Amino acid sequence: MSTLLQINTGIFAENSHSTVLANQFTANYLSQNPATELVVRDLISEPIPHLDASIIGAFASEEAARTPEQQAILDFSQGLIDELANADAVVLGLPMYNFSVPSQLKAYMDQIARAGVTFKYTETGPVGLLNDKPVYVVAARGGIHEGQPSDSQTAFVKTFFAFIGLSNVQFIYAEGLNMGDDAQKKAYDHAKKSISAITA
């Protein structure tokens, strides 16, 4: 049985445009792949600790000198990594807040970017250690940003996932969601059409 990991990051939970559309993607995907198990990681209802000195210290700790608190931090991080590594595909619901990704997603990224675990440095640069898989990013934006200097998300998200070995990243855009009812309907129609094409 294959596994689809859905990561939700919209602060308005099920009312977030990114979550609504990620749910649509998942429904289409599962209808085409009925033997797939769905795993949902909701970074809003189950927030992840933001990076701090204690987390960095735990990541760098030697096993023989590791405290129980440091081991708990490492176990939590490893659980997130295993969840991602065991998935056959990922769908990420991604809103844009102030030209960037939600801080909850950045916290997740900081937990799974682990030297020697998900990436390593070599003489020719970093190498991702996770097996590649499709990552579908449903990007919901209030304005129009695709292909513009204001779109700081696309390159960042692609760079991060490639850094840990996931280079097959595809974006589905729903833009202009705060620009009136007509613009919102057009954005949803465009996103749903893209979803249908990808999951067919």
What's the pLDDT at 8? 98
Between the two ends of the chain, the Cα-to-Cα distance in Å is 19
Range of the domain at 78: 3-199
154 burial type by CB count under 10 A (0-12 exposed, 13-18 middle, 19+ buried):
middle
Q: How confident is the model at residue 141 (pLDDT cuts 50, 70, 90)?
A: very high
Question: Number of folded domains in the chain?
Answer: 1
CATH code of the domain in which 189 resides:
3.40.50.360
Q: What interhelical angle do 53-60 and 68-86 show, nearest 10?
A: 80
* Kind plus residue range of the DSSP H or E element containing 93: strand 89-95
Alpha helices in 43-139 (DSSP H): 53-60, 68-86, 103-112
Mean pLDDT of the chain: 97
What's the pLDDT at 1? 85
Contact predicate 74/65, CB 8 Å: no
Contact predicate 51/107, CB 8 Å: yes
pLDDT at 155 exceeding the cut of 90: yes
**Residues 33-79 pLDDT 10s:** 999 999 999 999 999 999 999 999 999 999 999 999 999 999 999 99
